[in-house]
Amino acid sequence: MIGILKGMATTMKHALDGETFTVSYPEEEPDVSPRFRGVHKFSQERCIWCRQCENVCPNDTIQIVMDDQRNGEQYNLHIGQCIYCRLCEEVCPVDAILLTENFEFVGDTKDELAYNKEELKNVPWYKDLDPLESREPDREAWVGEGDGEVDYQ
Amino acid sequence: MSLEPPEPELDVGETPDGELDYDELADLLGEHVLDREEHVNAKGFVIRPDSVETVLATLREEAGFDHLSCLTAQQYPDRYESIYHLKKYDDPTQELSVVVPTASEEPVSGSAAGVFDTAIWHEREAYDLVGIEYEDNPDLRRILLPETWQGHPLSNDYNQDQPQIVPLREHANPMEKRTQVPDRSDTMFINIGPHHPATHGVLHLETVLDGEQVVDVDPDIGYLHRCEEQMCEQGTYRHQIMPYPDRWDYISAGMLNEWSYARAAEDLADIDVPEYAQVIRTMAAEMSRIAAHMLAIGTFALDIYGDFTAIFMYSITDREKLQNLLEDLSGQRLMFNYFRLGGVAWDLPEPREQYFQKVRDFCEYMPGRLEEYHNLLTSNELFQMRVLDTGILPPEEAKSYGCTGPVARGSGIDYDLRRGDPYGYYDELEWDVITDDGCDNFARALVRLKEMEQSARIIEQCVDVLEDWPEDEREIQSNVPRTLKPDHDKEIYRAVEGAKGELGIYIRSDGTDRPGRFKIRSPAFCNLQSLEVMAEGEYIPDMVAALGSLDIVLGEVDR
Amino acid sequence: MTLAETISSALGLEGAVGQFVGGFIGAAIVGTFILANAAVAGPWAKRKITAAFTDRISVDKLGPLGIGIIIPDAVRLISKELIVPEGVDRPAWDIAPLIIASSAILGFAVIPMGSIGSVDLQLADPEVGLAFVFAVASIASVGLVMAGYASNNKYSFLGGLRAVAQNLAYEIPLILTGISVVIFAGTLQLSEIVATQQQSLVELGPVAIPAWFAIVNPFAFILFLAANMAEVGRNPFDIPEAPTEIVAGFQTEYSSVYFVLIYLGEFVHIFLGGAIIATIFLGGPSGPGPASIGLLWFLVKIWGVFLLTQWARSALPRVRIDQLIEIGWKGMLVLAFANLFVTAVIVGVLAPL
């Protein structure tokens, strides 16, 4: 009987302390870590079309189309198929593809989530967070590391 | 400890310093051993397919190999091969592989089901996917794929283009089947799941009831089979495999799963991991463990208290707090992809002091919360009435079914790979392995609650270590080649202590940058098999409680 | 004057016609009032209470504290598709929700809910009032069995069986405990039972502790509370539903309006349980202040019982069916008889001395 009362007292304590853990979402947004991996942002100006991101992508989410002169024509990324592993950002030598902290994206159909380079470019920064700022120190360790051959295709 | 434990009697083939003398073991088996094979951390004995039972029984009775950890089956161009990975519950570093080749034309092998109960499911899986037939297996049906499936997908001659559309009428009618168990007249067959509030996912229990009591239960799995092993075989070692372990046991245990792959692949390719990265790994893994156990406790309470219980929300709240910490560290809340071969992806987030403070705050906050859980759960008389002495899993059965993790420790088996087969930074830290002799649902829940305490202890120590780490020695990754190509035919089976138990990975390299065979030893898969022992003869609510106390995640069971 | 008389005299009707029309309109008023309470409880109060226990916010967008959610919820629930599964036993399957919902409302016919001015808010005051309440309250279990049996679903069937077993085991202790109050009050008439509780038990200076039977015989009160939890099927005795065991028990196959009826019936049932408790143990509509706020006190009491059921839901585990039967037959029944015996001895033997 004591145990039952203890249990009931515990829940009543929570009911009376008035604290809530959930937030009233659209009005109040929970904090997102600077390292959070959200929708991609792509910069055609930076991209050197080395295709490393396409290569490293574990589930063929990125599709790159180039012409005969190896000039980039299309950069397509299906953000509904992406598993947000951040490997594309990790291998990119010029920071042309980044994962913003933006987690709010919707589409009525799956097709709407297949982004081309224009749509990728227009992905907004989330609360003006620059993902590179939080990632820079470790990026140094990554870029230019390793003994093996670099496969630029 | 004040008293030295008495010198344990050595098994055959065991040297006094806890190593294995494979020659002595070979002598024990005598003419059964046809050949020897080198695997990275366990030597293999090649035996004839018809002597499987004899050999395994001898090894179990006389050499003390009482844990059939895993069974890997694969097809080579000239033969089929089943590898039984044996271990000891007393000392998991003593490992032995028993390799059973069978002919390509007629892949028939003896079965280990007479020695280890866990072999029944493992062999069913091998039969289902690879196509080896195990003669004496009492229940050789398909397990992951539907029973109408044509062919065995992992065999070399499998036609991938063959359509697998089977009309409904060719499926067994779930209503007709086994409405009665022989010798019982008034039983009722009932399908619990795959859409049922208490099956923790898409698990289907084919249950026969006598009134409210369970007469027979047969778990039907495979609804969430996503070919995780084959996906890993398609990916490169260096990058592409690591995101996927997060998705096996997707309930917050991502770090632990990643570690299982990292450990196997690092040992396979001889990669060193910097000590600093090991400490971070240990801390992250223990955070994952607490998060996973929180959910286990929450859903267990849900099964027993009903769906408006506050405990579930409290544990989810605490799990969220951990996910915030893990998000700060890795950038995601569930699918971390934080480990890399040879280290971790990122150093601790800046400012470090602030992060340490957050982690410390959580560790200080934990005991108060755990006390609440004890008030709500373990000290509640009604709860005790419900779970004490229900869902009994005796230690002998637990061993035979290959149970590990909190399920085994709740049956009094002192088995924890973090201590028994140390990796990471665990052997430098002070913590205890929690066991409980209750063998019932209560014991398993209690073990999880106490393990969270120990995990918090480990995290605190890790924070201390990390705080004092000299700034110029913070190496998070060792220098790993961009393309990893382990030697041809190098084989390894390595396990870590996941949230649910021993999570093992078998990798065979075929000389390319992708694994030739990748096999996951899922702890939930093995634990789930023991449900029959726990549930039969009990009431439906106790079966549901036993299922909750097993803490299965269907993503891991079905892979 | 009773409510029905007031209405008929206001309409200028007399005799049998007046009685009928007055009673009919009065019943409609009481029924609507109770259903309005259930409507507040179901989509809104229950969410808010559960949310408070679990540190959440819950509905907060429409109206003050989100109370406006009742309207969209009503529209949503009623406009859903009614799915009739194959092979259900048709008339029984359709009637069951009606029985569950209506039986509980029926009980409020005899509950005294205080008075406004000279009008008594009690539809009828028969001499067998308490017996009537218990009788109609237990009709609901017939509905549960019908639902469980007619649904052609094994889970529903199990739920129906559980409902019968549970109601058999708990109805008797419930009524026996109720009878102990009857022995004190000397009547089955509910207005008389309430009136008996109006005297003060002890005077502590200015504070008079009323002779509520909950204070006179707290043991019987607790016993009745526990048996009532089983009677209305709430934790720790929500076994006929037991979502994590048998999906939703007897109501597994119900959707749309039928589901609403069952859901509503459950809430009305909780309120009826609360009304019985309030009437026979907590002095009905009595309380500090003028008699005209009696209705308010009555509401506070029944909502208090509702709150208690939700509180128990958040903190107490569901017992197993065999344990429930054991508690019912071996525990509660014995205690109820003991309570009845002791009460009888006190009232019949000791009090006259």
Residue C200 pLDDT > 80: no
Q: Which residue did the predictor score with more confidence, B130 or C208?
A: B130
Q: Please name the member of B346, B347, B372 whose beta carbon is closest to the beta carbon of A10.
A: B372
| Chain B residues within 8 A of C56 when measuring between CB atoms | 313
Measure the CA–CA gap between B467 and B455, rounded to whole angstroms.
18
Mean pLDDT of B142-167: 81
The last residue of a domain, from among B134, B151, B185: B134
Tell if the CB–CB gap between A35 and B335 is shorter than 8 Å. no
B125 and B268 fall within a common domain: no
- Using the predicted structure, report yes or no on whether residue B1 has a pLDDT greater than 70: no
Q: Could you say which of B313, B317, B477 has the minimum Cβ distance to residue A141? A: B477
What are the chain B neighbours of A33 within 8 Å (beta carbons)? 324, 327-328, 331, 349
In angstroms, rounded to a whole number, what is the distance separating the alpha carbons of residues C263 and C74? 12
Q: How confident is the model at residue A149 (pLDDT cuts 50, 70, 90)?
A: very low
Enumerate the residues of chain B whose CB falls inside 8 A of the CB of residue A151: 482-483
Boundary-marking domain end, from B102, B134, B166: B134
User: What is the model's pLDDT at position B361?
Assistant: 92
End residue of a domain, out of B68, B103, B134: B134
Residue A102, pLDDT score: 83
Chains that touch A (3 or more CB pairs under 8 A): B, C
Q: B209: part of which helix (H) or strand (E)? A: strand B204-210
pLDDT above 60: residue C245:
yes
pLDDT tens string B369-425: 898 898 888 888 888 888 888 888 899 889 899 899 899 998 888 888 888 888 888
Give the confidence band of A136 by pLDDT, cuts at 50, 70, 90: low
Tell me how close the Cα of C236 comes to any Cα of chain B, in angstroms. 8
Residue of chain A whose alpha carbon sits nearest to that of B376: A7
Chain B residues inside the 8 Å CB shell of C49: none
Q: Which residues contact B408 (CB under 8 A, 6 or more apart)?
A: B89, B398, B399, B415, B501
pLDDT, one tens digit per residue, over C285-337 is 877 777 777 788 888 888 998 998 888 888 888 888 888 888 888 888 899 88
CA–centroid distance for B316 within its chain = 23
The distance from CA C273 to its chain's CA centroid, rounded to whole angstroms, is: 3
- Put simply, whether C247 touches B (Cβ < 8 Å) is yes
The mean pLDDT value of chain B amounts to 85
Whether the predicted pLDDT of B202 surpasses 60: yes
- Chain B residues 91-110 within an 8 A CB cutoff of chain A: none
Mutate to test the interface with A, among C47, C53, C56 (most CBs of A within 10 A): C53
Chain A residues with CB under 8 Å of B330 CB are 35
Instruction: State the smallest CA–CA distance between residue C54 and chain A in angstroms.
Output: 7
pLDDT tens sequence across C19-44: 888 888 888 888 898 888 888 888 88
Is the Cα dihedral B305, B310, B312, B315 positive or negative?
negative
Distance, in angstroms, between B243 CA and closest chain A CA?
6
Query: Would you say residue B213 lies in a domain?
Result: no
Q: Determine, yes or no, domain membership for B90.
A: yes
Optimal mutation site among C222, C314, C327, interface A, most CBs of chain A within 10 A: C314
Give C332's DSSP letter.
I
Rg of chain C over all Cα atoms, to the nearest angstrom: 21
Q: What is the pLDDT of residue B164?
A: 74
For residue A140, what pLDDT is reported?
Answer: 43
Cβ–Cβ gap A14/C56 under 8 Å: no
Which residues span the domain enclosing B286? Answer: 228-558
Least CB–CB distance from C56: residue in A8, A12, A22? A22
Instruction: Judge: C317–B190 Cβ closer than 8 Å, yes or no.
Output: no
Q: Is the pLDDT of residue A1 over 60?
A: yes
By the CB < 8 Å criterion, does B178 face chain C? no
Look at residue B6 and tell me whether its pLDDT is greater than 80: no
The answer, yes or no, to whether residue B17 has pLDDT greater than 60, is yes
Whether C209 shows a pLDDT value over 80: the answer reads no
Q: Residue B2 pLDDT > 70, yes or no?
A: no
Residues A56-95: pLDDT tens digits?
888 888 888 888 887 777 888 888 888 888 888 888 877 7
Q: What percent of chain B has pLDDT over 70?
A: 95
Ranges assigned E (strand) in C62-215: 115-116, 119-120, 200-204, 207-210
In the predicted model, what is the mean pLDDT of residues C76-88?
A: 87
Q: A4 contacts in C (CB within 8 Å)?
A: 315-316
In a domain, A127, yes or no: yes
Task: Write the pLDDT tens digit of every residue in C186-198.
Answer: 888 888 888 887 7
**CB-nearest partner of C244 from B307, B310, B317:** B307
Number of independent structural domains in chain A: 1
SS3 A10: helix
Tokens coding B332: 């995601």
Residue at B1 is within a domain: no
SS (H, E, C) B403-433: CCHHHHHCCCCCCCHHHHCCCCCHHHCCCCC
| CA-to-CA separations, B146 to B134, B140, B225, B436, B557, in angstroms, rounded | 19, 13, 11, 38, 15
Taking 80 as the threshold, does the pLDDT of residue B174 lie above it?
A: no
- Residue B518, strand partner residues: B507
Q: Where are the beta strands (DSSP E) in chain C?
A: 115-116, 119-120, 200-204, 207-210
For chain B, list the contacting chains (3+ Cβ pairs, <8 Å).
A, C
Residue B178's pLDDT band, with cuts at 50, 70 and 90, is low
B486-521 pLDDT, tens digit per residue, is 888 888 898 998 888 899 999 998 888 888 889 999
Tell me whether residue B352 is in a domain: yes
Question: Mutating which of C50, C55, C307, C335 best tests the A interface, going by the most A Cβ atoms within 10 A?
Answer: C55
pLDDT tier at A146, thresholds 50, 70, 90:
very low
The pLDDT of residue A153: 34
Query: Which residues 308-327 on chain C approach chain A with CB closer than 8 angstroms?
Result: 311-312, 314-316
Q: What is the pLDDT, as a whole number, of residue B155?
A: 84
Q: What are the CA-CA distances from residue B189 to residues B185, C251, C320 (Å)?
A: 12, 20, 21
Q: Which residues from chain A sit within 8 angstroms of residue B235, using beta carbons?
A: 58
Residue in A4, A86, A150 closest to B382 by CB = A4
- Chains A and C form CB pairs within 8 A to the count of 36
| Contacts of C among chains (3+ CB pairs under 8 A) | A, B
B112-127: average pLDDT? 89
Contacts of C315 in chain B (CB under 8 A): 305, 309-310, 376
Interface residue of A86, A100, A101, A139 to substitute, partner B, most B CBs within 10 Å: A86
Please give the pLDDT value at position A150: 40
Q: Which of C55, C245, C313 sits opposite B544 (nearest CB)?
A: C245
C263/C269 Cα distance (integer angstroms):
10
Q: Strand ranges (DSSP E) for chain A?
A: 40-42, 62-66, 72-78, 97-99, 114-115
The first and second tokens of residue A6, run together, are 């203890």
The answer to whether position A64 is within a domain reads yes
**CATH classification at residue A130:** 3.30.70.3270
- Domain assignment present for residue B155? The answer is no
Q: Taking CB atoms and an 8 Å limit, are C312 and A19 in contact across chains?
A: no
A150–chain C Cβ distance below 8 A for any pair: no
In a domain, B389, yes or no: yes
Decide if C55 and A4 are in contact by the 8 Å CB cutoff: no
Q: How confident is the model at residue B152 (pLDDT cuts 50, 70, 90)?
A: confident
Cβ of residue B258 closer than 8 Å to a chain C Cβ: no
> Strand, helix or coil at B52?
helix
Task: Report CA-CA distances (Å) from B247 to A138, B292, B337, C48.
Answer: 25, 13, 10, 35
pLDDT over 80 (residue B261): yes
Inform me whether the pLDDT recorded for B7 exceeds 70: no
Question: How confident is residue B177, by pLDDT bands cut at 50, 70 and 90?
Answer: low
Range of the domain at A53: 31-142
Q: Please check the confidence at residue B249 and state whether its pLDDT lies above 60.
A: yes
Q: C314 and A4 in contact (C-beta within 8 Å)?
A: no
> Quick one: pLDDT at residue B24?
79
The answer to whether residues B242 and B129 belong to one domain is: no
Query: Band of the pLDDT at B306, cuts 50, 70, 90?
Result: confident
Nearest CA in chain C to A26: C61
Looking at the complex, does the CB of residue C200 fall below 8 Å from at least one CB of chain A? Answer: no
Per-residue pLDDT of B52-103, as tens digits, reads 888 888 888 888 888 888 899 988 888 888 899 888 888 888 888 888 888 8
Select from B269, B284, B236 the least CA-distant residue to B496: B284
Q: How far is C226 from chain A (nearest CA, A)?
A: 13
Q: Average of pLDDT values for B538-555?
A: 88
When pLDDT is cut at 50, 70 and 90, the band that residue B192 belongs to is: confident
- Chain C from 10 to 49: CB within 8 A of any A CB: 49
Q: Say if A116 falls within a structural domain.
A: yes
In total, how many domains does chain B have? 2
The answer to whether A22 contacts chain C (CB < 8 Å) is yes
Return the structure tokens found at C120.
Answer: 């008594």
C-alpha distance from C306 to closest chain A C-alpha (Å): 15
- In this complex, is the C-beta atom of C80 within 8 Å of any C-beta atom belonging to chain A? no
* Predicted confidence band of residue A144 (pLDDT cuts 50, 70, 90): very low
CA distance C316 to B527: 28
| pLDDT score at B293 | 92
Residue C205: per-residue pLDDT: 67
CA distance B231 to B234: 5
Q: What are the chain B neighbours of C245 within 8 Å (beta carbons)?
A: 198, 540-541, 544
Contact C56 B313 (CB under 8 A): yes
What pLDDT, on the 0 to 100 scale, is given for residue B182?
60
Q: What is the mean pLDDT of residues B225-242?
A: 88
Mean pLDDT of chain A: 78
Instruction: Give CA torsion, residues B265, B266, B268, B272, to 10 deg.
Output: 170
Give the nearest chain A residue to B380 (CA atoms).
A3
Task: Check residue A141 and give its pLDDT.
Answer: 41
- Distance to chain B for C230, nearest Cα, Å: 15
Q: Which of C57, C312, C315 is closest, CB to CB, to A22?
A: C57
Contact of B314 with chain C, judged by CB distance below 8 Å, is answered with yes
Whether chain C has a CB inside 8 Å of the CB on B65: the answer is no
C223 compared with B482, residue with greater pLDDT: C223
* Angstroms from B305 CA to nearest CA on chain C: 4
How far is B41 from B51, CA to CA, in rounded Å?
Answer: 24
| Structure confidence at residue B290 as a pLDDT band (50, 70, 90) | very high
CA dist C172 and C327 (Å) reads: 13
Residue C353: what pLDDT?
Answer: 65
Measuring CA to CA, which residue among C24, C171, C15, C156 is closest to residue C97? C156
Here the CATH number for the domain that contains residue B52 is 3.30.460.80
* B2 domain-assigned: no
